[in-house]
Amino acid sequence: MKKEAFGELVISNQESWYRIAKSYLCNDADCADAIQNAIVHAFENLYSLRNDKYAKTWFIRILINECHQVIRENKKVVTWEEYQEEGREAEYIRGYGQYSELYESIMRLKENERTCIILYYFEEYSIREIAQCLESTESAVKKRLVRAREHLRGILKAKSA
């Protein structure tokens, strides 16, 4: 893929990259770091992209790795799990108004289930594309989505009880 075409792809999907990063990292500055590192990393390795059609899923895979990297490199980074452990969900969720319950419930899912939900419902990727993003199989993604929906149902039910 040519650099210009890839640049267009990165810019035209920037909201999506933010939402994906946000599902891993609570702090916007950390999201910015992860996205920036992913862009630099992707351009440096663009020659290794095997097929243009996988550019988006390839970039998401890099972005997810960079989110993990930001967490590993900086102990000050607060993950969603840590917010939950500290009982600070409300701090993170504030501002989401009427949607906070659903979003908070999604964010309560385990990371691998949450990623599937975000990519499938928010970013509208196909099962096959999600499998490519996560270097997993389509059947594994389907199973994770089923489990995620079950867990989400449980979380929402517990909240309403």
Partner 1 sequence: MDIDRNKINEMKSECLQMPDYIRDMIEETVEQQLKKKQRYGKKMWRVAAAILAFACVGGGTTLAATKLYKMHLEQQGKYGSTLIYGEATNTDATDTDAEVNQNALYTLDVSYVPEGMTVDGLDDIYADGNNYVKKVSVYKKDTPYMGGVSFTFLKMPADQQVSFDQTHVISTKELDIDGRQAIVIERQVLESARRQIQYELYVTYENNYLLGMFVYDDTELDTAIDIVKGLKLTATDDPEAKRRIVAEEYTGQEEATAAAPVYEADENAGKKNRFTETSKESMEEHMHQVGDSFNVPQSSLTAKVSKVELLDSPDAIDAAYALDPVKTDAEGKLLNNVIAYEKCGNGIDQLDEVVETKEVKEKILYIEVAYTNTSDQQTGDTMFQCGLLWAKETGDGYETVDVYAKDDVDYDSYYGQNYRISNVPLYYYNGKSAEEKNHLIRVQPGETRTVTLAFLVTEDELPYLYLDLFSGNGDYTQFRQSALLYGYVDIRQ
Summarize as ranges the residues that interact with partner 1 (CB under 8 A). Answer: 2-5, 7-8, 10-12, 14-15, 17-19, 22, 28, 31-32, 35-37, 39-41, 43-48, 50-54, 62, 65-66, 69, 72-73, 95-97, 99, 102-103, 112, 117, 120-122, 124-129, 135-137, 149-150, 152-153
Q: Please, which residue, 68 or 84, has the CB nearer to partner 1?
A: 68
Contact 76, 21 (CB under 8 A): no
Q: How far is the CB of 93 from partner 1 (least distance, A)?
A: 10
Contact between residue 130 and residue 119 where contact means Cβ atoms under 8 Å apart? yes
Which CB, 18 or 84, lies closer to partner 1? Answer: 18
| Helix 28-44 vs helix 55-73: crossing angle, to nearest 10 | 130
The H helix count followed by the E strand count for the chain is 10, 0
Smaller CB separation from partner 1, 9 or 84: 9
Placement of tokens 């040519």 in the chain: 2
User: Using CA atoms, how far apart are residues 121 and 154, in angstroms rounded to an integer?
Assistant: 18
Report how far residue 52's alpha carbon sits from residue 5's, in angstroms, rounded to the nearest whole number: 10
Q: Minimum distance from CB of 145 to partner 1 (Å)?
A: 10
87/97 with CB nearer partner 1:
97
Q: How far is the CB of 86 from partner 1 (least distance, A)?
A: 18
In angstroms, what is the minimal distance from the CB of 52 to partner 1? 7
Which stretches of the chain are assigned E, i.e. beta strand?
none
